[in-house]
Structures are given as structure tokens and as C-alpha cells.
Amino acid sequence: MKLIRQLHLYLGCFFAPLLVVFAFTGALQTYELHESTKDGGYAAPRWMKTAANLHKHSTLSKAGSPAAMRVLITAMSLALVLTMVLGVMLAFKLERNAWLVAGCLALGVVVPLVLLLLAEPPS
């Protein structure tokens, strides 16, 4: 259990800054704030375009070489999945009410699915 906690802690701390950046840049892209409108009504700030480039192309400019950054991002993705699995394991081990943990996990699956289904246009 101690090894699981330590692995969860150190992987989380190492990758947390990069995860924050990718969560933030992903949110900008969700609302398409990194793209200027074609009619000229909205001009995306340069820093948002640069942030989107990092998120989409693993580089700050399209001329950059993303190979090393892609390796780091792949490692971050794998570590994120591993830390989430370890976190769920810790939750089941440390929480007295396993049904509460299971319920939260179930809601984490059901709520996004319901929202996606509600967002679909009627056929």
C-alpha cells in the first residue's frame, strides 16, 4: 500500500503542471477561443493560438520539432491513467464505504454519457 501511495504521489506531482496546461488549453479549444471567426468579429489572442498549437501539435510553432514533446506527452498520458487507477485502488482501500466510491465511479461514467446523448440532435 505504501508503494502504491508513493507512486501515485510522485507521478501526480511530476505530471501535474503539464496536466494543468493541457486541461487549460483543452478548455480553450472546447469553446474554440483559439480560432478567429471568419467574419472578423472575433480575433483570437496570439497566446491562445500558441497554446492551442502546443495542445494540438506538441510544439509552440508549426515549424518546431515535436518528437521529444510527444514522447513526454505520451508518458504523461500513461502516467495519468496509472495514477487514476492507483487513486481508485486507494479510494477502495481507504474509504470505509466502498459503495460510495463505486457510486462516484458509476456517476463518472453515466453523467457524461447522458450529457452526450442529450446534446445529440434529434434524428
**Judging by beta carbons within 10 Å of its beta carbon (0-12, 13-18, 19+), is residue 117 exposed, middle or buried?**
exposed
What are the tens digits of pLDDT across the range 19-28? 999 999 999 8
Structural domain that includes position 6: 2-95
What is the average per-residue pLDDT within 86-93?
A: 93
Calculate the alpha carbon distances from 43 to 8, 22, 71 in Å: 41, 22, 32
Domain count, the chain: 1
- pLDDT above 80 (res 64): no
What are the tens digits of pLDDT across the range 91-113? 999 888 999 999 999 999 999 99
Is residue 100 one of the residues assigned to a domain? no
pLDDT of residue 89: 93
pLDDT of residue 123: 63
Is residue 101 one of the residues assigned to a domain? no
Is residue 117 one of the residues assigned to a domain? no
